[in-house]
Amino acid sequence: MRLKSIALISLMCTIYANGANFTVDINNETTGDSYVSSSDTLTDIINELELTNIESHIGYNETNHLLANLDFRGLPVRLNFAENSTTLSFDIDSLGIHESFTGNTRDDSVDMLEDWFKDGGVDVEKIMKKLVEISPVDPIAGNPNSLMALTVEADFKDGFMNIATKQRSSRNSSKGNRIAIDATYKSLDTDGRRSNSFTLPLSYSFVSADNDKESLNISLPITYIDFEGAKSYNVGLGTSYSKPINENWVLTPAIKYSIVGSSDLGALAQLGSVSLSSSYSFYLGNKYTLSIGNMVGYYTTLKVYDGDYAYDPDIGNTVFRNALLYSIPTENIVKNTSLDVYVIDTQYTGTELYLNSYDEFGFSFGYNKVNLNVLSDKEEYSFNKELKIGMSYLTSSKSNGFKVNFGFMF
């Protein structure tokens, strides 16, 4: 059996921690013994807090003065049982949170604190928001490998990057629905903390028979992220509708639901989003094209029910993403190919995040061909084949890294 006070620490971390580094400093103020443990994964910390491990370092009984200091990725948290007392003090000085719980036994006091967390409330939301603000590797939001950032990126790819490619090749009109597979690897250094993600977005587009620029799109992005050994998993389901306003301009509204889970980081969150993307292309002649992309979206966490616990981090951000993409024909090198060079700027407003803006510079080299099948004198069928490979560099005041992507559409 674990020390009940230590179990409380585990409870807090399991539900509310989402960092890549946890440190626990446990002190028996009665005997003067202490024990410090730190790890990049929550699982390792919980294992270190087993009673057998604790007792091998410090002695403990129910009357001792026990103090536990947590470095919650820069957020100091203090738990304290005074000598010969069953009152548990819980303090986060930086957030002005000071609570105390007195039960008949120390076990009862811990249960009361557990109930406090179950009920949620303003103070719990303060904790979640602060962690998102101060953590460089938060799996929910605040860095380019977080759930929110990856969702923003996917929406913009569907609403601009892919649309601009269609506009570029629209002179060779195609019909028929499309399947797209686009694998992306991203590696980032955010204030010395390394994170790597691998995303496999799967999508299907129902293309209008009258205009190949008009389509209803369904996407299913799946992502695996490694925060220095701590693993996180994202999955989403979204739909968008691309509507051409004229030959040059396409608008794409989108709605998406996403979820992130990580036992290593103790994170579980749901995200809902709506966005509107615009793609406007200037045809410059000789197949040269300049495209302008703009997106505005709102991304907010949703209430999560985890067993007896219900909580909502209450993180909501309006995101603006703007880009320029210049398409250069390279048919003199390889037939039916082009080179796209682009720059993207991303800005977040709303809930304060660890990283509120970043820029991306990249290129992609693609093959695009429309195949025409003549079925009869009055009927024909055409479809696109597109193959793209690209690389980009992401930079900001706190984060730098690169991204490699490979896409295939048919």
What local confidence, expressed as pLDDT, does residue 143 receive?
93
Three-state SS annotation for 162-217: HHHHHHHCCCCCCCCCEEEEEEEEEEEEECCEEEEEEEEEEEEEEECCCCCCCEEE
- Are the C-beta atoms of residues 213 and 166 closer than 8 Å to each other? yes
Read off the pLDDT of residues 375-408 as tens digits, 9 standing for 90 and up: 444 444 444 567 889 999 999 999 999 999 988 7
Are 258 and 270 in contact, with CB atoms under 8 Å apart?
yes
Tokens of 158: 């569907």
Instruction: Calculate the dihedral angle through the C-alpha atoms of 391, 397, 399, 400, rounding to the nearest 10 degrees.
Output: 30
Which residues contact residue 290 at a Cβ distance below 8 angstroms, ignoring those fewer than 6 apart? 281, 282, 284, 324, 325, 326, 327
Gap between the Cα atoms of 253 and 276, Å rounded: 4
Please give the helix or strand (H or E) that residue 265 lies within, else none. Answer: none
Please give the pLDDT value at position 40: 74
Distance CA 241, CA 160 (A): 12
Please give the Cα distance from 363 to 366 (Å, whole number).
10
* Amino acid residing at 256: K
φ, ψ at 142 (rounded to 5°): 105, -5
Angle at the Cα of 205 from the Cα atoms of 385 and 201, rounded to 5 degrees: 80
- Residues 316 and 350 sit within 8 Å (Cβ to Cβ): yes
3-state SS class at 239: strand
Which residues of the chain are under the pLDDT cut of 70?
A: 1-21, 42-43, 45-55, 118, 120, 166-175, 266, 306-310, 369-385
Rounded Cα distance, 355 and 95, in Å: 20
CA distance 198 to 63: 50
> What is the separation, in whole angstroms, between the first and last Cα of the chain?
57
Q: Tell me the domain boundaries of the chain.
A: 4-119, 147-409
Fold held by 147-409: Lipocalin (2.40.128)
The number of beta carbons lying within 10 Å of the beta carbon of residue 282 is 12
